[in-house]
Structure 1
Amino acid sequence: MSEEPISWDHLKTRRPTDADRDALRAELVGRALEVRQHGWDAYRSEWSNGDLAAVAYLLGDTAMLEELEENEGSVLTLLAGNLYGFNGARKDIEAGLVGTQAWFATVQKELDRL
């Protein structure tokens, strides 16, 4: 009995909504505030490396990014998919991730106000 191959086509057409992006923004800001208050140790085993990297990027924590072996490009590429879906992320990556950078800049400004 052979199994059907896994199809990822449904993910290629997924387009996150403004509400999805707002939820991601709120989650990242909340996590960044937690790290500011409690440090990284409590979250290293709780959050995925991708989540740790996104929060580290948001906080400008280059030491944590280095520890995770991540850089600005890898973090932005990962987050582009969450922000715009597969096809939208491909377009943003081809454009130099300007949309993703702009989104992060607004989230960083919000975090700086808190």
Structure 2
Amino acid sequence: MAIDWDQFYPPSEEKRDQKRRDLLARARTIKSKGWDDYQYVWSTGETVGVALLLNDDAVLAEMGETQRDVLSRWAYDLFGQKDGSADEAADFARTADWFANARAGLAS
């Protein structure tokens, strides 16, 4: 099995922007159509990421996740192994900021 060395390095800002745009599009879909056709079709990471953007604690609870769980899940995807680990040590402040900034995009 080959080692995926990319997991250790932070994704580019462009890749993080792609993730943000994707989550925002999904969140807008949920706001207009509801969860019924999407919650069990999207990956767990996508679903709980959108739920966090929408502050939907009911969906998080249904998925067996807390806001902290979601931040933990996303920290490493957004910032790579080294920076994700540093963010975990800082109680996921950077990841929480990323989600807060993305959430602000829902208004625009």
Please say whether Structure 1 and Structure 2 have the same fold, judged by a TM-score greater than 0.5.
yes
| Residue 41 of structure 1: aligned partner | 36
TM (norm. structure 1) is: 0.88
Deviation at 1:19, TM superposition (A): 0.1
C-alpha distance in 1, partners of 2:33/2:55? 16
Which of these residues, 73, 76, 90, is aligned with residue 78 of structure 1?
73
Establish whether residue 93 from structure 1 lines up as the match of residue 88 from structure 2.
yes
C-alpha distance in 2, partners of 1:41/1:66? 16
Structure 2: which 5+ runs fail to align? none
Q: Which runs of 4+ in 1 moved over 6 A?
A: none
Structure 1: which 5+ runs fail to align? 1-5
Q: Percent identity?
A: 33
- CA shift in 2, pair 1:105/1:68, >3 Å: same
- Alignment deviations for residues 28-64 of structure 1 (CA, whole Å, 9 cap, x no partner): 0000000011110111232011111110011011110
